[in-house]
Structures are given as C-alpha cells and as structure tokens.
Amino acid sequence: MSERVIIVPCSGIGKTYGTVTREAAYLVTEDLRTETTTIVPLSLLVLGDEEARAAVQDARVISMDGCKLACATLNVRQAGGTVAKDFTVLDVFRRNKALKPQGISELNDGGLALARALADEVAQTTDELMAEGVDHA
C-alpha cells in the first residue's frame, strides 16, 4: 500500500467547478498535506497508463469531481482502484453557499475560497485515512 493518499481531480476544462477541483488538488498536495498526498493525473488514467493504474490500485484514493458525471471517481474505479472518499464540488458549495465560483482560466475570489473549503475537507479526510493506515499496520 502506498504511503501517500492519491488525489485525483476531475480535470474538466469547460466548467468552473472543474477548475475548483484542480485548484483544490494543488492546495492539498502543495500546501496543506505535502508529505502525505500526491496527484495522479486523470488524463493518464483515461489512457490506461500502467504506472498511473498501478498507483491507484495500490493506494487510498480521494477523487474530486466537478459535476454529476463523476469522471474522476469512475476513471479510478475503471482503472481497478478503490475510491476511499469521493468529493463533489456541488456538495461543498451547498455547505458554503456564500462562495460563488466564477471563471475557468482564473477563478474569482469565491472560486478560490470554495477550492480552499474543498481542500480543507480533503486534507481532513487524508488525515483520517493516514490514521487508519497506521492503526491497521
């Protein structure tokens, strides 16, 4: 089992919520939980890249989806991985309705704040998964 939690954001390019997942993924892996998380790009999973498939098959995976089509979650499962926890931006938005995201290339302040809220939830789940891993070791 990988020592790090794998983060898979949706990568959606056409909608704001996709950008929110991407921003949140970077927040978690570059700022909040640099030692315990890493990103696996969805594009590699789509292509069936062996290294990416092996990574999600041998790790605790957190997926982050921008819409109900849940591409990140579905692609992890199709690659043979198990999603420990799946997040959708819409659910986080419902819990933080004051944070209205706009923009795709560049998120507005609301979008950045929403990404931070999502990242905080993902970081907390990462801690729980890491603790479970220690308990079960």
Task: Answer yes or no: are the C-beta atoms of 56 and 6 closer than 8 Å.
Answer: yes
Task: Give how far Cα 123 sits from Cα of 35, 47, 48, 110, Å.
Answer: 11, 28, 27, 20
Between 57 and 95, name the residue whose CB sits nearer to other proteins. Answer: 57
**Applying CB under 8 A, which of residues 4, 5, 6, 9 lies at the interface with other proteins?**
9
Residues 28-87 that bind other proteins (CB under 8 A): 30, 39-47, 49, 69-72, 74-75, 78
Residues 6+ apart with CB under 8 A from 109: none
Task: Answer yes or no: are the C-beta atoms of 91 and 83 closer than 8 Å.
Answer: no
Q: Least distance in Å: CB of 16 to other proteins?
A: 12
Q: How many residues bind other proteins (CB under 8 A)?
A: 30
Q: Least distance in Å: CB of 69 to other proteins?
A: 6
The site map against other proteins for 78-97 (x = CB under 8 A) is x-------------------
Q: Least distance in Å: CB of 125 to other proteins?
A: 19
Dihedral sign, CA of 41, 45, 47, 49? positive
Between 40 and 99, name the residue whose CB sits nearer to other proteins. Answer: 40
Write out the residues near other proteins by the rule CB under 8 A.
9-14, 22-23, 25-26, 30, 39-47, 49, 69-72, 74-75, 78, 104-105
